[in-house]
Amino acid sequence: MPCPICAKHRGEGPLVGPVVWADELVVVSHRPGDFPGYLFVETRRHVAHLDGLTEAEALGVARAAWVAARALQAELEPESVHSAIAGRGIAHFHQHVFVRHLGTPAKVGWMDVDWPGAPRADVDLLCGRLSAHFVR
């Protein structure tokens, strides 16, 4: 079965969202749709799990997730920023970095992005602001 994240990196398929930042090892992109503040940190190389990353990839992923979390905090001022490596079902390493917006109802699951009153925004504009945080 073709890898949906590899397809995403080619600009194909339903997972394609705005790219926030990328280098030769890592891609940071926003989840498709208009719910602001849900990013993915992915290796460019097709590798399934954390233990399969090279040291350079692991360091690149760690830095990208750290910058992404700080950028989301600065730009959205959420209740909190979370991260998870939970790639069951997709055999391409990816780390979720996402916010819990102020006022999110307690019954809303930690990865849910659609509920009555959920915030909506132009994520392309948000990604432009987030990308400025990745300048070294």
Q: How far apart (Å, rounded) are the C-alpha atoms in residues 77 and 46?
A: 33
In degrees rounded to 5, what are phi and psi of residue 23? -135, -160
- Residue 110 has a pLDDT of 85
Helices (H), 17-87: 55-76
Sheet with 26-30: list strands edge to edge: 19-22, 26-30, 38-43, 94-100, 80-84
Task: Please list the pLDDT of the chain residue by residue as tens digits (136 residues).
Answer: 789 999 999 999 999 999 999 999 999 999 999 999 999 999 999 999 999 999 999 999 999 999 999 999 999 999 999 999 987 778 899 999 999 999 999 999 988 998 999 999 999 999 999 999 998 7
Q: How far apart (Å, rounded) are the C-alpha atoms in residues 95 and 62?
A: 10
- Residue 95 has a pLDDT of 97
Q: At what angle do helices 55-76 and 123-131 cross, to 10 degrees?
A: 120
- Residue 86 has a pLDDT of 81
Per DSSP, the three-state class of 28 is strand
pTM summary value: 0.95
Let me know: does 17 contact 94? Beta carbons within 8 Å. Answer: no
- Residue 30 has a pLDDT of 98
